[in-house]
Structure 1
Amino acid sequence: MSACTAEPIAFGKTKETTRIVIIGAGVSGIAAATRLLEQGFKNVQLFEAEDRIGGRINTIPFANSFIDLGAQWCHGEEGNVVYERVKDLDVLDRTGDFAGYFARSNKDILTSDQYKALMEFKDEFEVKSDFEGSVGDAFTDSFWKDVGQQLDKAVAKEALDCLKRLICSEDACDHMSELSPRNFVNFAVTGGDLSWRKKGYWKFLSLLLNANEDQPGDQGILKGHVHLNRRIAEVNWSGDGEVTLRCWNGQIVSADHVICTVSLGVLKEKHKQLFVPDLPAAKVRSIEGLKLGTVNKFLLEFEEQPMPENIRGVAFLWLEEDLKELRGSQFFWLESVCNFHRVDRQPLLLEGWIIGAHARYMETLSEEKVLEGLLWLFRKFLKFTIPHPKNFLRSQWHSNPNFSGSYSFYPTYADELRTGRTDLGSPLVHVSGRPRIQFAGEASSRNHFSTVHGATESGWREADRLNEFYKGRAEN
């Protein structure tokens, strides 16, 4: 930052004249922009690299209804701004149990008592704040002290691996050995998950935007403020005055304030090229220390529900000999498929989950190859038949350069670097206190990371930061 102690003479802006550019029109960018307009700012522009708004909220028509390719559940009620916004609209229901039962790769099924004991252990597992090492270490130790001894040793090993995959799908890590206890300690638990009755997460976005809920993608009050297909190539914040942004198409834009809401994955890959001059060391350390994991989903529509009526879903336990054979085959990536389950209020659908490096590999395959592998998996594990689906979709969050992953988590590497989300969310300010470049998004939320409500709060946080700055100027 400049060593000068006073604002440049040229800076005499007000809410009516200051120019604000928001990079990204995901939920954090939308939350920031709509609040800024509500607070009286006039010149607010969003530059979005995709051809749609919403970011990692992507509600699309599918199977005579809507599905969410990205964010899907409202995570809890207490302290959740999403829930607070929709709680009186009768649009949320509590979700059911995901797994239903555990199937082994020889088609054996664990008993209901075994299933209950394993799931209760997973759901009740807690990491103490003073624990040294990874969550994987703590989980493994607790497992063998608790439920592991109640099972045949081979089955226990299979179940442990399966439970780890399920937790990885919730926390977005590739494996639990890289997951820091801070992912549990810092996250503010808000209660059970809630699913959308209709319109998916677009319902929430439509409320923020005052948009038509029957038209996903309607920009509502941001119409005229959003520029689609405008990926930012460079943010030049040299000097003390305006910030200059260059789009990939050559367009040059000047701003007094920039709110950057791109994903942590994009920051990790692009920050050295994106920001001129380089970001401060503390900011770089947070970007490099935190991680954006990959979690993808599969959605299959059938003529009629193939899952037996008494089964909600299935999780997969690999016998050691079957796993060795799998790893040498073309379907090796199926090892990281966690589970498949029914979809609330959509009786003809099945939804599945895959994590980590195998999820990233899956993204490179054709839909035909992915579906071939999934049908092979069903035949390998299930005693009932899953037919070829009527329709099939899979998400590909990592290979999309505008996201480069799904959602963030605290790895043990961030502990080693002594960095975290506060460093990521801290603004770059002029010595006078004027915010120049601000950062928002779920990865910058200290207690609600990896959630839509955390992303929303971060957008409001940065809008309020600007509002306070201009309020202070008005009082002087």
Structure 2
Amino acid sequence: MGRVVPLLVLSLVLFSLVLLSPITSTATPTHPSVIIVGAGMSGIMAAKTLSDAGITNIQILEATDRIGGRMHKVPFAGINVELGANWVEGVNGNEVNPIWTLANDLNLRNFRSDYTNISANFYKHGGGLYDSSAVEEEIEKTEKVEAAGEEIVPELAENGRDDISILTLQRLLDHVPTDPVGMAVDYYTFDYEFAEPPRVTSMRNTIPLPTFSNFGEDVYFVADQRGYGSIVEHLAGHFLKTDESGNIIDSRISFNKVVREINYTDNGVTVFTEDGETYEADYVMVSVSLGVLQTHLIRFNPVLPNWKILALYQFDMAVYTKIFIKFNETFWPTGNGTEFFLYASERRGYYPIWQQFEKQYPGANVLLVTVSDEESRRIEQQSDEETKAEVMDVLREMFGKDISEATDILVPRWWSDRFFKGTFSNWPIGVSKNEYNEIRKPVGRIHFTGEHTSEHYNGYVHGAYLAARVLFFISFVYTIESDNIVLKEIFRLLCNHTCVCSS
């Protein structure tokens, strides 16, 4: 796979950096070589990559009171559930997803999501199930659209300037769903994956989707009570000091440090936090979400160049909301082929995709309904009681008026959270590969990582992981050691074996 660095080349890079780097102290840095903003997957992986290379004089500044970023478990109705990332997506293919390897190393409790019987679980607005053959017909039409896209994409210009939206592709093939079943299948196929509708999403960069074509079609739901974020905690434990209980006690990471300003010159960077603290370093690695970069939470001085600002604002930060609802009893179908069911509303995207947890959380009587985009933003601005009332109305449409009332509801608000401003990035129509490279490209001594900087896996946990592990070496360590002839040759080889080199 083009994105994964060959082991031999990566080992050469690490070995050379360990030999050449003068920074090997693990003491609390008064003037760290590198400040890393954010302790999500990419931030922690960037720090680990540095540490593995012998560059340990770092300082991580995290705005919240935890590590993990958008991998975040919370207690709900007697179990821990995930507010954000929940699946290992892309498993059982020709390549091995690195997150799948980590999940197995930690023995995380997970379950393969089985969507094969979805056509038999389509509920009508007004009650009752659709005939499965009618649903299958719509699914086949959508599959033909995707197949046509796979044939068209190789013919498009490499720079992406001939790109079209998925909706445009649908129009070309005379298949723009307008009835409830068609819209529900459409949402299930595209919005459920990208958190934005077909009119927004780039065809070239999503058909075929590299995550599934490279790593495999299967997805696994993580239901481990330690949390999906325990993967990030595990990675952090490789280079940060912990106590006997595994709690991080390393002074090189500071929590509740909200970065508000980054000043940069040719000689170094100065980072200012909301609590009045000032940090100086040689470089800074910014791993905050694209949504945060599109706000004014962090001010850059001097202002980032226009090409950088334009690139950041052209890309999309989508919103994907998983709403958990607790009941005293189970009134929905259980057993094989019933894990997922859809509600085909006349209003596209209105509480469409449901999941029951008979296997994942036995006896919990919990349902999950997923919404996205405009519905997510609308729901975030109303009370949980209002959302629960809407949810109950939909459930009564599906299962009858006499079902029991929900006892608890959990509504994440990623869009409203100033530390995230959304859930994950989506590649929209109109952004070429060259423009995308500018999202990842450093500005002076400021470098950027995160799932939004992963060209082929943006929006995914493995994208965040690989972005920090691969792009980091190319754009960051190369800058630090660019005067060394040996490293120049190593990085030339590295770039030849990957497709993440910035222009």
The 1:461/1:270 distance shift into structure 2, 3 A limit, reads: farther
Q: Which of 195, 199, 203 is the equivalent residue of 2:230?
A: 203
**Paired amino acid for 1:93:** F
1:183-198 to 2 correspondences below 5 Å: 183-185=205-207, 187-188=209-210, 189=212, 190-191=215-216, 192-198=218-224
Contact (CA 8 Å) 1:286, 1:419: kept in 2 or not? Answer: no
**Paired amino acid for 2:282:** D
Contact (CA 8 Å) 2:258, 2:273: kept in 1 or not? Answer: yes
Whether 2:266 is the aligned partner of 1:240: answer: yes
**What corresponds to 2:114 in structure 1?**
96
Moved more, 461-470 or 306-315: 461-470
**What corresponds to 2:295 in structure 1?**
269
Whether 2:55 is the aligned partner of 1:62: answer: no
Whether 2:191 is the aligned partner of 1:171: answer: no
Secondary structure of 2:352 counterpart:
strand
Note the alpha carbon deviations across 1:391-412, whole angstroms, 9 max, x for none. Answer: 3211111000111111111112
Q: Report how far residue 202 of structure 1 moved.
A: 2.3
**Paired amino acid for 1:225:** R
Whether 2:460 is the aligned partner of 1:451: answer: yes
**What corresponds to 1:42 in structure 2?**
56
Q: Which of 296, 303, 306 is the equivalent residue of 1:278?
A: 303
Whether 2:88 is the aligned partner of 1:74: answer: yes
**What corresponds to 2:37 in structure 1?**
23
Q: Report how far residue 339 of structure 1 moved.
A: 1.4
Whether 2:404 is the aligned partner of 1:382: answer: no
1:340-351 to 2 correspondences below 5 Å: 340-343=354-357, 344-347=359-362, 348-351=365-368
1:313-352 to 2 correspondences below 5 Å: 313-319=340-346, 323=347, 336-343=350-357, 344-347=359-362, 348-352=365-369
**What corresponds to 2:449 in structure 1?**
440
**What corresponds to 2:10 in structure 1?**
none
Secondary structure of 1:176 counterpart:
coil
Q: Report how far residue 314 of structure 1 moved.
A: 2.4
Whether 2:462 is the aligned partner of 1:428: answer: no
Contact (CA 8 Å) 1:74, 1:82: kept in 2 or not? Answer: yes
**Paired amino acid for 2:266:** D
Note the alpha carbon deviations across 1:161-215, whole angstroms, 9 max, x for none. Answer: 2223222131021x3212111331474122221122523412322331238xxx9
Using the alignment, how far apart are the partners of 1:204 and 1:165 within structure 2? 30
Note the alpha carbon deviations across 1:355-386, whole angstroms, 9 max, x for none. Answer: 11221121121211111111012123434754
Note the alpha carbon deviations across 1:439-461, whole angstroms, 9 max, x for none. Answer: 00011100011000100111223
Note the alpha carbon deviations across 1:237-280, whole angstroms, 9 max, x for none. Answer: 1x311101111122111111100011111111128x61111212
Q: Report how far residue 158 of structure 1 moved.
A: 1.6
Using the alignment, how far apart are the partners of 2:326 and 2:263 within structure 1? 47
Q: Report how far residue 413 of structure 1 moved.
A: 3.8
**What corresponds to 2:136 in structure 1?**
116
**What corresponds to 1:83 in structure 2?**
100
Q: Which of 302, 305, 308 is the equivalent residue of 2:330?
A: 305
Moved more, 248-257 or 136-145: 136-145
Contact (CA 8 Å) 1:182, 1:410: kept in 2 or not? Answer: no
Contact (CA 8 Å) 1:32, 1:462: kept in 2 or not? Answer: no
Q: Report how far residue 53 of structure 1 moved.
A: 1.6
Moved more, 34-43 or 196-205: 196-205
**What corresponds to 2:492 in structure 1?**
none
Using the alignment, how far apart are the partners of 2:143 and 2:368 within structure 1? 21
Contact (CA 8 Å) 2:126, 2:397: kept in 1 or not? Answer: yes
Using the alignment, how far apart are the partners of 2:431 and 2:396 within structure 1? 41
Using the alignment, how far apart are the partners of 2:205 and 2:135 within structure 1? 26
- How many residue pairs are counted as aligned between the two chains? 427
Using the alignment, how far apart are the partners of 2:163 and 2:253 within structure 1? 46
**What corresponds to 2:253 in structure 1?**
226
Q: Report how far residue 86 of structure 1 moved.
A: 3.2
The 1:221/1:40 distance shift into structure 2, 3 A limit, reads: farther
**What corresponds to 1:106 in structure 2?**
126
Using the alignment, how far apart are the partners of 1:169 and 1:47 within structure 2? 33
Whether 2:218 is the aligned partner of 1:181: answer: no
**Paired amino acid for 2:220:** L
The 1:118/1:312 distance shift into structure 2, 3 A limit, reads: farther
Note the alpha carbon deviations across 1:305-330, whole angstroms, 9 max, x for none. Answer: 221225333212234xxx5xxxxxxx
Using the alignment, how far apart are the partners of 1:426 and 1:345 within structure 2? 41
**What corresponds to 2:313 in structure 1?**
288
Moved more, 453-462 or 218-227: 218-227
Contact (CA 8 Å) 2:268, 2:281: kept in 1 or not? Answer: yes
Using the alignment, how far apart are the partners of 2:104 and 2:140 within structure 1? 28
Moved more, 192-201 or 121-130: 121-130
The 1:58/1:219 distance shift into structure 2, 3 A limit, reads: farther
Q: Report how far residue 68 of structure 1 moved.
A: 0.9
Contact (CA 8 Å) 1:341, 1:350: kept in 2 or not? Answer: yes
**What corresponds to 2:501 in structure 1?**
none
Secondary structure of 2:341 counterpart:
strand
Contact (CA 8 Å) 2:163, 2:202: kept in 1 or not? Answer: no
**What corresponds to 2:5 in structure 1?**
none
Contact (CA 8 Å) 2:127, 2:400: kept in 1 or not? Answer: yes
Secondary structure of 2:261 counterpart:
strand
Q: State the TM-score, normalized to the length of structure 2.
A: 0.77
Secondary structure of 1:368 counterpart:
helix
**Paired amino acid for 2:447:** Q
Moved more, 379-388 or 245-254: 379-388
Percent of aligned positions that are identical? 23
Contact (CA 8 Å) 2:164, 2:204: kept in 1 or not? Answer: no
Q: State the TM-score, normalized to the length of structure 1.
A: 0.81
Moved more, 344-353 or 385-394: 385-394
Q: Which of 10, 14, 21 is the equivalent residue of 2:22?
A: 14
Using the alignment, how far apart are the partners of 1:90 and 1:469 within structure 2? 38
Secondary structure of 2:330 counterpart:
coil
